């Protein structure tokens, strides 16, 4: 029994230090995550808005067309809004499963525009998230241009 008491007494200090360190690390990570929440949510909202706007455009184009603008594995397919939303997300994410494909030059152009806008949003959105992280951390933000002395 005495041996157990000695082992417990010797290890209590280490366990307490470990728990204290874990609490400090968790607190720091939570603080960082909360500061990054606004720019990340803003980016996700813009990404979702772009997906929804293009889904509406695909649906409107399909509704105005006399023939099917999209084809699936079995041939022409109607494009209800959930399918338009799916096609828009797959297109913007540049996944391109191929289960629904545009079959009209205008829709192909619209899908190409969505891919380009999605990539530009990703590029500038990521840059803005990183910039806001530096600003919140109090780091100097570099601006393009000649060095200032």
The tokens of 54 are what? 């293009």
* Buried b or exposed e, range 89-114, using 16+ CB within 10 angstroms: bbbbeeeeeeebbbbbeebeebbeeb
pLDDT at 147: 67
Average pLDDT of adjacent 10-residue blocks, the chain of 149 residues: 79 84 86 78 94 96 90 88 94 88 92 95 88 75 67
pLDDT at 115: 95
In the chain, what are the domains? 34-137 (1.10.287.70)
Rounded CA separation 101/62 (Å): 13
Could you read off the pLDDT of 47-69 as tens digits, one per residue? 999 999 999 999 999 999 889 89
Identify the CA nearest to 102 among candidates 121, 113, 53.
113
């Amino acid at each position: 029994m005495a041996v157990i008491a000695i082992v417990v007494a010797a290890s209590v200090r280490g366990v307490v230090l470990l728990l204290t360190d874990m609490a400090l690390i968790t607190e720091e990570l939570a603080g960082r995550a909360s500061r990054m929440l606004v720019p990340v949510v803003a980016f996700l909202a813009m990404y979702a808005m772009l997906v929804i706007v293009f889904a509406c455009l695909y649906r409107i184009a399909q509704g105005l067309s006399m023939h099917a603008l999209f084809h699936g594995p079995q041939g022409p397919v109607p494009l209800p809004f959930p399918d338009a939303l799916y096609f828009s997300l797959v297109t913007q994410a540049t996944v391109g499963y191929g289960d629904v494909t545009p079959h009209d030059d205008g829709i192909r152009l619209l899908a190409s525009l969505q891919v380009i806008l999605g990539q530009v949003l990703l590029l500038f959105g990521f840059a803005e998230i990183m910039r806001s992280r530096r600003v919140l951390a109090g780091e100097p933000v570099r601006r393009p241009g000649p060095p200032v002395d």
